[in-house]
A and B are shown apart, each in its own frame.
Chain A
Amino acid sequence: QQQVKQSPQSLIVQKGGISIINCAYENTAFDYFPWYQQFPGKGPALLIAIRPDVSEKKEGRFTISFNKSAKQFSLHIMDSQPGDSATYFCAASGYSTLTFGKGTMLLVSP
């Protein structure tokens, strides 16, 4: 059973544009929602994370929007740059175990 559903599978955005990736979860016990960024040949690295007591968190060009009632959260990348081209994974955890979405491959064209 997939507990975290991520869309789209791939995304192409022009430089300077906004990239939006969406995730939905099923388990209401989840209380930690991170986004990880992965470059080819590297392990995932934490980009930004949110807990359900807030609806939005912003760090530089990256923003998480969180909708607890809809059980959805999204990543917005403002002013997307070619260096942002990578695979992005949403994830969710309750006690102890982190479950990942299937990933979104983002390509930012120059």
Chain B
Amino acid sequence: EAGVAQSPRYKIIEKRQSVAFWCNPISGHATLYWYQQILGQGPKLLIQFQNNGVVDDSQLPKDRFSAERLKGVDSTLKIQPAKLEDSAVYLCASSPRTGGSTGELFFGEGSRLTVL
């Protein structure tokens, strides 16, 4: 079974530029998550989708971050304009669960963003 795919793996941009990350979850997984992991910290949830609807985006900085999951499969996370503090690894995860507590999340390898 193929795992969660993310691209690009690495991205370096100047502050105020824009960047987009792509995620393809495990086939059939209804729930998709984007987490931000700053160096030396635990993953922090940015947004959670169930199919193509948003379940939780309370910690997404909506003035600069946006995410979509068209057709309930792939997802993109965009940052515009980027700030220095956005330097982090952006992790995508998926889960087959659609209700109740989380259960196992399957993570991709992440997209490492460096903002100069």
A residues adjacent to B (C-beta < 8 A): 4, 6, 31-32, 34, 41-46, 49, 89, 91, 93-103
A102 to B43, CA, bound (A): 8
A41 to B91, CA, bound (A): 11
Shortest distance between the CB of B49 and any CB in chain A (Å)? 11
Task: List the A side residues contacting B40 at CB < 8 Å.
Answer: 102-103
Q: A96-B55, A96-B56 are in contact. Are A44 and B43 (CB under 8 A)?
A: yes
Are A94 and B101 closer than 8 Å at their CB atoms?
A: yes
Are B109 and A46 closer than 8 Å at their CB atoms?
A: no
Name the prevailing secondary structure of the B interface residues: loop
Are B44 and A100 closer than 8 Å at their CB atoms?
A: yes
Name which residue of chain B comes closest to A97, CB basis: B56
Task: List the A side residues contacting B109 at CB < 8 Å.
Answer: 41-43
Residues of B in contact (CB 8 Å), total 23
Q: Which 7 A-B pairs have the closest CB atoms?
A: A43-B107, A100-B42, A93-B102, A32-B101, A98-B102, A46-B104, A102-B42
Shortest distance between the CB of B43 and any CB in chain A (Å)? 5
Are B107 and A49 closer than 8 Å at their CB atoms?
A: no
A44 to B45, CA, bound (A): 14
Shortest distance between the CB of A27 and any CB in chain B (Å)? 12
Task: List the B side residues contacting A96 at CB < 8 Å.
Answer: 48, 55-56, 100-102
Task: List the A side residues contacting B42 at CB < 8 Å.
Answer: 4, 6, 89, 91, 100-103
A102 to B40, CA, bound (A): 7
Task: List the A side residues contacting B93 at CB < 8 Å.
Answer: 43
Task: List the B side residues contacting A45 at CB < 8 Å.
Answer: 107
Pick from B44, B45, B101, B110: contact of A95, CB under 8 Å = B101
Q: A93-B102, A97-B102, A103-B41 are in contact. List 4 more A-B contacts (CB 8 A).
A: A44-B105, A44-B107, A96-B55, A103-B40
Say whether B82 faces chain A, with CB atoms less than 8 Å apart.
no
The 6 listed contacts between A and B (C-beta, < 8 Å) are A43-B93, A43-B108, A43-B109, A94-B101, A100-B42, A103-B42
